[in-house]
């Protein structure tokens, strides 16, 4: 008797970010659509073959691959293609246009991208499906079937992954024509026949099992949802009586939702036992009470890079086996491995003492395989278990982790370190007297285009082909160009452009103690964009100033005020792989203390304004409301600890993007920043209504255009938006800026867009004076 070794999803990018290179080559006109599709197919083949080495036949996932995003795939699959993309001739271009917009003036095509949002509490972004009461579904593609058959042709039996009908609708939104109060779930009756016909086609192709992802089960759910789930799964069961259906919940506890999930006519339930170890006791009795249902135990962390404590996981799996028998237990990662880097194998430069503690996606599959074997026959994997035990022990006692000086500083924090000396009303006057900014001041969020030249220069520095001095001179030249550009375009508060940064989190990690870096530990962030999260393994501190020289240089080039530019403590935490041997709060406070010193140094060096970005503060919000307060208290305090050690005259900015901030409005206000630039261009005016409703009184720069798309926003569009905003927000508080940093854009489109934006600001300023 064996326990099944399974996977819920594999990273799509490939060992060498192959997918990124492929799609970008296609977008750049360097390869044809056929070459793109062939390249993607080859990548899937590699991934299926790789996974087959570790997983039980039939439990390798398919349809987890995506050219851009899986939520977009499902909108496309079910024909939820908004009207504005309907006339784009090729399906490939139509798909990418929905993800990233498309501007082809010669063909009269100019469509913005659909909205992009954070995928639950991850740093992955999904495309928000758009619906209206008129939405009719049909199978616009047969991607899951095609990919199932593709694997089958290679001799690999897979379990297709499909986004659940309830999560698919619930994660979507009403389009701009949808009436107020439109409920996307009201489309369930229309979706189900199409959904079940897809499952039928999968069965016809030979599929015997499917994984239906319902991640919304990790959220607090209204009572009405029980009936929605019951209806959806009754229809699925009726249409596919023999298909084995696993419903997967992940990213948190399934909680009280188990009460209705346990009654669904399905064959297996997946639970995330890393985030919610208590779910075993919650779910196992329900599984045991049924004669045939199986439990998929998510014991290997899909969200972090530390080695699994195999002995602990084996004990967990054995409890499940004891309760329901080995044939009804599946070992799995806690969630899809999409959020893990590909393989540790590439990490030839990493400190071996620390690498010993880690597992990336491929190593996690190996762990799953060992756990499944050990649950029934530990002797068969005795060597693997012994080696794992030694590594886990080694990490626990390693002297590399602890820094007594950092720990002492953390014990000695005083209440005054969490507040500014005076209120904003006082600070505002002192700052305005110093900065003398016009009304509707213009600024940008920090980064300017990270061109190929900039990235190649950094690569050359790493390879030793450029000296430190040559690289510094190159970066200084880039900064000077950016400063002259900003002056010419008419911006009021300038930035240095962040050219020296590989990434806003990685850069700071590289300059702090307690971090280690992978060479190739890329994780998809959105579309073709990847990040290489730094790894926090020990106590964090800042040995020397990190940004002062660069910021001082940038300020020396201009009479206009320059913003120092830092990444905030919560974002540093949220976008790193974090140590799991102390509370996240303690790690965040250590980072905040390091940043507080940097802020003090920037002020002392003469920077009049300092921006501390916290784009990830909302993303860190626990999925369950009962845990919100505790998180928000420490997250706000960490920001205050990093930012409040300055004089009244120093203007503290912050920046947030990619999330709905309405529900943390009070916490945003509690950050007490003098100005917040906030993403808003694609999420209508709901957010600003919250600022209006709560009477926000500090500076605010709602993003005026979307920076994720190469599309240049016409001035009229920016103007219309600013007009709508200035009806909601007191114009004395308003700043004029894009949604987020411009690092992913080219210079030509940046120049055109910022010119339009600054022209609009000038028009508003003139009208204000008149
Ligand atoms: C603001 N955002 C960020 C998030 N998370 C972060 N950790 N950082 C963020 O900025 N989450 C929310 C959003 C997501 N947005 C983005 C935006 C842009 C990117 C992005 O551009 N990623 C780059 C990789 C960035 C990087 O670290 N680059 C390195 C290495 C560059 C490289 O690949 N070099 C090549 C050679 C050069 C070349 O040919 O281009 C090589 O080594 O082979 C660097 O600059 O040194 C991306 O390319 O995907 C991510 C998230
Ligand atoms: N300062 C950063 C913020 C990104 S969220 C940038 O401009 O890229
Ligand atoms: Zn941003």
Mean pLDDT over 579-607 rounds to 98
9 Cα to the center of ligand 1, angstroms: 23
Largest CA distance in the chain: 85
pLDDT band at 683 (very low <50, low <70, confident <90, very high): low
pLDDT of the residue at 221: 87
The interaxial angle of helices 188-205 and 225-239, nearest 10 deg, is 30
CA distance 571 to 619: 9
Q: What are phi and psi of 114, to 5 degrees?
A: -75, 170
Ligand 1 contacts CB of residue 501 (under 6 A) = no
pLDDT of the residue at 535: 98
Substitution candidate for ligand 2 out of 504, 562, 571, 654 with most atoms within 8 A of CB: 504
Assign a CATH topology to domain 423-769. TIM Barrel (3.20.20)
Q: What are phi and psi of 333, to 5 degrees?
A: -70, 160
Token pair for residue 109? 């095509």
Mean pLDDT over 731-746 rounds to 96
Q: 551-557 — which CB contacts under 8 Å span 24+ positions?
A: 551/496, 551/602, 551/605, 551/607, 552/605, 552/606, 552/607, 553/476, 553/479, 553/496, 554/479, 554/483, 554/494, 554/495, 554/496, 554/497, 555/606, 555/607, 557/479, 557/480, 557/483, 557/484
Ligand 2 contacts CB of residue 595 (under 6 A) = no
CA-to-CA dists, residue 441 to 560, 701, 735, angstroms: 12, 9, 5
- How many Cα atoms sit within 13 Å of 80 on the Cβ side? 27
Is residue 603 predicted with pLDDT exceeding 90? yes
pLDDT band at 684 (very low <50, low <70, confident <90, very high): low
pLDDT band at 681 (very low <50, low <70, confident <90, very high): low
531 Cα to the center of ligand 1, angstroms: 5
Residue nearest to atom 19 of ligand 1 (CA): 529
445 Cα to the center of ligand 1, angstroms: 17
Ligand 1 contacts CB of residue 615 (under 6 A) = yes
Q: Which ligand is nearest to the CA of 619?
A: 1
Assign a CATH topology to domain 4-397. TIM Barrel (3.20.20)
Taking the CA of residue 567 as reference, the ligand 2 atom at the shortest distance is 1
624 Cα to the center of ligand 3, angstroms: 25
Is residue 770 predicted with pLDDT exceeding 70? no
The DSSP code sequence of 169-188 is HHH-EE-TTSPTT--GGGGH
Taking the CA of residue 529 as reference, the ligand 1 atom at the shortest distance is 49
742 Cα to the center of ligand 2, angstroms: 8
pLDDT band at 686 (very low <50, low <70, confident <90, very high): confident
Mean pLDDT over 609-626 rounds to 96
Taking the CA of residue 446 as reference, the ligand 2 atom at the shortest distance is 7
- How many Cα atoms sit within 13 Å of 153 on the Cβ side? 10
Ligand 1 contacts CB of residue 463 (under 6 A) = no
Mean pLDDT over 556-578 rounds to 98
CA distance 753 to 564: 23
Handedness of CA 10, 13, 18, 22 (dihedral sign): positive
Residue-averaged pLDDT of the chain = 96
CA distance 491 to 443: 6
In the beta sheet, which residues pair with residue 564?
A: 610
pLDDT of the residue at 7: 99
Is residue 327 predicted with pLDDT exceeding 90? yes
> Per residue in 37-95, pLDDT tens?
999 999 999 999 999 999 999 999 999 999 999 999 999 999 999 999 999 999 999 99
pLDDT of the residue at 413: 97
> Per residue in 218-256, pLDDT tens?
999 888 999 999 999 999 999 999 999 999 999 999 999
> Per residue in 619-640, pLDDT tens?
999 999 999 999 999 999 999 9
pLDDT of the residue at 689: 79
Residue nearest to atom 42 of ligand 1 (CA): 459
Ligand 1 contacts CB of residue 455 (under 6 A) = yes
Ligand 2 contacts CB of residue 215 (under 6 A) = no
Residue nearest to atom 44 of ligand 1 (CA): 502
Is residue 682 predicted with pLDDT exceeding 80? no
The interaxial angle of helices 18-27 and 91-100, nearest 10 deg, is 100
Return the domain boundaries, the chain. Answer: 4-397, 423-769
Is residue 129 predicted with pLDDT exceeding 90? yes
Q: What is the pTM of this model?
A: 0.94
Mean pLDDT over 599-619 rounds to 97
Q: Could you tell me where the beta strands, DSSP code E, fall in 231-279?
A: 244-248, 268-272
445 Cα to the center of ligand 2, angstroms: 6
> Per residue in 463-507, pLDDT tens?
999 999 999 999 999 999 999 999 999 999 999 999 999 999 999
Token pair for residue 523? 């994780």
Please list the active-site residues. 708
CA-to-CA dists, residue 245 to 1, 268, 430, angstroms: 22, 6, 64
Ligand 1 contacts CB of residue 504 (under 6 A) = yes
Over pLDDT 70: what percentage of the chain?
Answer: 99
> Per residue in 513-555, pLDDT tens?
999 999 999 999 999 999 999 999 999 999 999 999 999 999 9
pLDDT band at 591 (very low <50, low <70, confident <90, very high): very high
Ligand 2 contacts CB of residue 678 (under 6 A) = no
CA distance 167 to 442: 40
């Amino acid at each position: 008797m064996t326990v099944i070794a399974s996977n819920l999803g594999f990273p799509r990018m490939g060992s060498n970010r192959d997918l990124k290179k492929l799609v970008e080559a296609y977008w750049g006109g360097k390869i044809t659509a056929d070459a793109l599709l062939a390249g993607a197919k080859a990548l899937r083949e590699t991934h299926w073959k790789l996974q087959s080495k570790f997983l039980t036949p039939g439990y390798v996932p398919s349809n987890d691959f995506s050219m851009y995003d899986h939520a977009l795939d499902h909108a496309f699959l079910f024909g939820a293609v908004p009207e504005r993309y309907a006339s784009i001739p090729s399906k490939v271009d139509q798909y990418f246009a929905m993800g990233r917009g498309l501007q082809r003036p010669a063909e009269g095509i100019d469509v913005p991208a659909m909205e992009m949002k954070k995928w639950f509490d991850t740093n992955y972004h999904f495309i928000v499906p758009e619906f209206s009461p008129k939405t009719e579904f049909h199978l616009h593609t047969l991607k899951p079937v095609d990919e199932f058959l593709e694997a089958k042709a290679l001799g690999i039996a897979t379990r297709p992954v499909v986004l659940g009908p309830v999560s698919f609708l619930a994660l979507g939104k009403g389009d701009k024509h949808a009436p107020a109060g439109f409920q996307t779930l009201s489309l369930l009756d229309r979706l189900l026949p199409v959904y079940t016909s897809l499952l039928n086609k999968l069965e016809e192709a030979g599929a015997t099992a499917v994984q239906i992802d319902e991640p919304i089960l990790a959220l607090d759910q209204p009572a009405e949802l029980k009936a929605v789930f019951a209806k959806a799964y009754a229809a699925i069961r009726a249409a596919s009586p023999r298909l084995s259906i696993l419903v997967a919940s992940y990213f948190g506890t399934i909680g009280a939702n188990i009460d209705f999930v346990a009654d669904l006519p399905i064959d297996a339930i997946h639970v995330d036992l890393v985030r919610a170890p208590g779910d075993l006791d919650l779910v196992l009795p329900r599984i045991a009470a049924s004669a045939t249902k199986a439990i998929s135990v998510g014991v290997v962390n899909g969200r972090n890079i530390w080695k699994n404590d195999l002995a602990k996981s084996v004990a967990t799996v054995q409890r499940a086996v004891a309760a329901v028998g080995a044939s009804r237990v599946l070992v799995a990662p806690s969630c899809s491995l999409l959020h893990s880097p590909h393989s540790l194998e590439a990490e030839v430069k990493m400190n071996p003492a620390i690498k010993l503690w880690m597992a990336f996606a491929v190593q996690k599959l190996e762990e799953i395989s060992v756990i499944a074997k050990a649950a029934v026959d530990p002797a068969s994997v005795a060597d693997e278990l012994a080696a794992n035990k030694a590594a886990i022990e080694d990490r626990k006692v390693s002297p590399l982790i602890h820094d007594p000086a950092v720990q002492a500083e953390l014990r000695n924090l005083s209440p005054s370190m969490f507040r500014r000396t005076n209120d904003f009303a006082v600070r505002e006057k002192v700052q305005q007297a110093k900065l003398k900014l016009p009304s509707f001041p213009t600024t940008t969020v920090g980064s300017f285009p990270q061109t190929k030249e900039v990235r190649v220069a950094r690569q050359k520095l790493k390879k030793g082909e450029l000296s430190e001095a040559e690289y510094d001179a190159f970066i200084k030249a880039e900064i000077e160009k950016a400063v002259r550009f900003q002056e010419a375009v008419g911006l009021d508060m300038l930035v240095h452009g962040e050219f020296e940064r590989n990434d806003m989190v990685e850069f700071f990690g590289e300059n702090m103690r307690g971090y280690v870096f992978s060479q190739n530990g890329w994780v998809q962030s959105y579309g073709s964009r990847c990040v290489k999260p730094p790894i926090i393994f020990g106590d964090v501190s800042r040995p020397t100033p990190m940004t002062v020289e660069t910021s001082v240089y940038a300020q020396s080039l201009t009479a206009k005020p320059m913003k120092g530019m830092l990444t905030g403590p919560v974002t540093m935490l949220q976008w790193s792989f974090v140590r799991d041997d102390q509370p996240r709060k303690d790690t965040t406070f250590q980072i905040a203390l390091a940043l507080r010193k940097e802020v003090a140094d920037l002020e002392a060096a003469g920077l009049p304004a300092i921006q501390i970005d916290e784009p990830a503060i909302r993303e860190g919000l626990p999925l369950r409301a009962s845990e919100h307060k505790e998180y928000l208290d420490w997250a706000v305090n960490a920001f205050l600890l990093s930012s409040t050690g300055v004089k009244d005259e120093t203007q503290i900015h912050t920046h947030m993007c990619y999330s709905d901030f309405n529900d943390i409005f009070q916490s945003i206000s509690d950050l007490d920043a003098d100005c917040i630039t906030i993403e808003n261009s694609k999420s209508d005016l709901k957010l600003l209504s919250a600022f209006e409703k709560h009477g926000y009184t500090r500076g605010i720069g709602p993003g005026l255009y979307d920076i994720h798309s190469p599309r240049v926003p016409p001035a009229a569009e920016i103007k219309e938006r600013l007009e709508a905003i200035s009806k909601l927000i007191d114009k004395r508080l308003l700043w004029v800026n894009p949604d987020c940093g411009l690092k992913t854009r080219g210079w030509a489109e940046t120049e055109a867009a910022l010119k339009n934006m600054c022209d609009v600001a000038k028009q508003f300023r003139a009208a204000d004076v008149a």
